[in-house]
C-alpha cells in the first residue's frame, strides 16, 4: 500500500469524523449508526477524538472532566502508529484543522451523551479483544497499554486481550515481532493455532502459515508448548499439553499446525528480522517458498509451475516490494521460462 493510498484513506476517515461531529451537533445524526461507525475501527475513534481535541471540545463538553479525553487521544495515536506514519499524521492534522474551521458551527450541544457513547465504544474495543490488521505490503507498530510493542508484518492479523491475570495475543494469520514488557504478575502468551508461546521478558518473532508456526527468539527466553485441543476460548487460561520446550536467544522452533515440535535449531536472526527493513534474505530456499514470500507483500503474484521448478533452490537478497528483481534474476536462467499475464507472473521449468 503506497503512502498516497494511506493518505487518501486517512483523509476519508477524517472527513467522516468531521461530518459526524457536525451532524451530532445539529441533532441530525443517528446515534446508533454513529456507534456502529466507531466500532468499525479504532482509527475511527482516534479521528473523532482528535478532531474534538483540536477544537478543545472537551473543555466545553465535559466541564467536570469526568472523561480523560487527552489520555484517550494519546492511546488512540499510539495504537495506530505505522512505521512511516509521522509525516502522514502531520498532513492529516493540518487538513482536519482547515476543514473544521470552514465547516464547524459555533455551538457544541448535548455532547456529554455523545462522549459517553465514544467512551463506551472505546472501552469496549480495548477492554475486550482489540483487533489489529495489516493489508498487502503494509507494516504496523502497535504499542499496547502494558508497554509491550507488537510489530505486524504484511497481511497479518492479531487480537489482543490484556487482563488482570494474563496478557494474550492471538496471531490469526501472518507474522509479528513481539517486544514484551516485563510483568511478573501477568504472563504474556501468544497463541498461534495450536501453538502457545509464553514470553519470559523477551523479544521474539512468530510466523504462522497454514502448515505450521515458526518461533524465533531474538532476545531473552520463551517457552513453546501445544494448546490443549479443548481450549478454544481466546483469552482463557489456555491449558497446554506436554512439557514446554524452552528456547533462548538465537534459537528457532518450527511447529506443525497441531502444535507438535517439528524442528529446533539455531536461528539466523538477520533473516528473521530483515522484514522490518522490507528485505527478503534467501539461502538455498525452494523457489516455491520464495514466491510465496513475495506474494505476501505484492499485488503481483508469482506462480511456480511444476514440482521440479518449485523445488529449485535460490540464494539471494531482494527488496520485498520489487518482485520484478526476482523475475529478472530468473529470466537469466536458460532452463526457465517466464510469462507475464496481467498481475500474474508464471514461471515454468524444463
Q: List helix spans (H) across the chain.
A: 3-26, 31-39, 42-54, 57-61, 69-79, 86-103, 111-127, 269-272, 287-297, 307-311, 323-331
Spell out the CATH class of 131-270: mainly beta
Q: Helix %, strand %, coil % for the chain, to 5?
A: 35, 35, 30
How far apart, in whole angstroms, are the C-alpha atoms of residue 70 and residue 79?
14
**How much is the pTM?**
0.63
How far apart, in whole angstroms, are the C-alpha atoms of residue 38 and residue 30?
13
Q: Which of 181, 143, 136, 186 is nearest to 157 (CA)?
A: 136
> pLDDT above 70 covers what percent of the chain?
70
C-alpha distance across the termini of the chain, in Å? 35
- Condensed to tens digits (0 to 9), the pLDDT of residues 41-86 reads 777 887 878 776 665 444 444 444 444 545 555 555 555 444 444 4
Torsion of CA 15, 16, 20, 21, to 10 degrees: -30
Q: Which of 119, 139, 108, 148 is nearest to 23 (CA)?
A: 108
Domain locations in the chain as residue ranges: 3-127, 131-270, 278-348
12 CB contacts (<8 Å, ≥6 apart)?
Answer: none
Q: Which residue has the cell 514488557?
A: 181
- What is residue 38's predicted lDDT score, i.e. its pLDDT? 84
* CATH entry, 278-348, from 3.55.50.30, 3.90.1520.10, 3.30.70.270, 1.20.1250.20: 3.55.50.30
- Condensed to tens digits (0 to 9), the pLDDT of residues 171-202 reads 999 999 999 998 988 999 999 999 999 998 78
Amino acid at each position: 500500500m503506497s503512502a498516497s493510498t494511506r493518505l487518501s484513506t486517512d483523509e476519508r476517515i477524517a472527513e467522516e469524523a468531521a461530518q459526524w461531529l457536525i451532524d451530532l451537533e445539529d441533532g441530525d445524526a443517528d446515534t446508533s449508526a454513529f456507534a456502529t461507525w466507531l466500532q468499525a475501527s479504532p482509527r475511527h475513534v482516534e479521528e473523532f477524538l482528535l478532531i474534538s481535541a483540536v477544537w478543545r471540545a472537551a473543555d466545553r463538553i465535559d466541564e467536570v472532566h469526568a472523561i480523560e479525553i487527552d489520555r484517550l487521544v494519546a492511546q488512540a495515536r499510539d495504537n495506530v502508529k505505522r512505521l512511516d506514519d509521522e509525516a502522514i499524521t502531520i498532513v492529516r492534522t493540518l487538513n482536519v484543522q482547515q476543514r473544521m474551521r470552514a465547516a464547524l458551527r459555533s455551538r457544541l450541544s448535548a455532547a456529554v451523551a455523545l462522549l459517553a457513547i465514544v467512551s463506551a465504544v472505546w472501552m469496549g474495543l480495548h477492554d475486550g479483544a482489540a483487533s489489529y490488521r495489516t493489508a498487502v505490503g503494509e507494516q504496523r507498530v502497535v504499542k499496547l497499554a502494558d508497554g509491550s510493542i507488537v510489530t505486524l508484518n504484511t497481511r497479518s492479523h492479531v487480537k489482543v486481550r490484556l487482563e488482570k491475570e494474563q496478557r494474550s495475543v492471538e496471531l490469526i494469520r501472518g507474522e509479528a515481532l513481539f517486544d514484551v514488557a516485563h510483568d511478573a504478575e501477568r504472563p504474556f502468551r501468544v497463541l498461534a493455532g495450536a501453538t502457545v508461546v509464553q514470553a519470559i521478558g523477551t523479544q521474539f518473532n512468530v510466523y504462522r502459515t497454514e502448515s505450521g508456526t515458526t518461533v524465533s527468539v531474538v532476545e531473552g527466553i520463551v517457552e513453546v508448548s501445544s494448546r490443549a485441543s479443548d481450549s478454544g476460548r481466546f483469552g482463557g487460561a489456555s491449558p497446554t499439553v506436554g512439557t514446554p520446550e524452552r528456547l533462548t536467544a538465537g534459537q528457532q522452533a518450527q511447529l506443525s499446525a497441531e502444535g507438535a515440535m517439528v524442528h529446533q535449531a539455531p536461528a539466523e536472526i538477520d533473516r528473521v528480522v530483515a522484514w522490518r527493513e522490507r528485505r527478503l534474505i534467501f539461502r538455498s530456499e525452494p523457489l516455491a517458498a520464495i514466491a510465496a514470500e513475495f506474494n505476501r507483500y505484492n499485488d503481483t503474484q508469482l506462480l511456480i509451475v511444476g514440482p521440479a521448478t518449485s523445488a529449485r533452490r535460490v540464494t539471494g537478497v531482494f527488496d520485498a516490494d520489487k518482485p520484478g528483481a526476482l523475475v529478472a534474476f530468473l529470466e537469466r536462467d536458460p532452463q526457465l521460462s517466464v510469462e507475464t499475464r496481467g498481475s500474474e507472473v508464471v514461471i515454468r521449468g524444463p
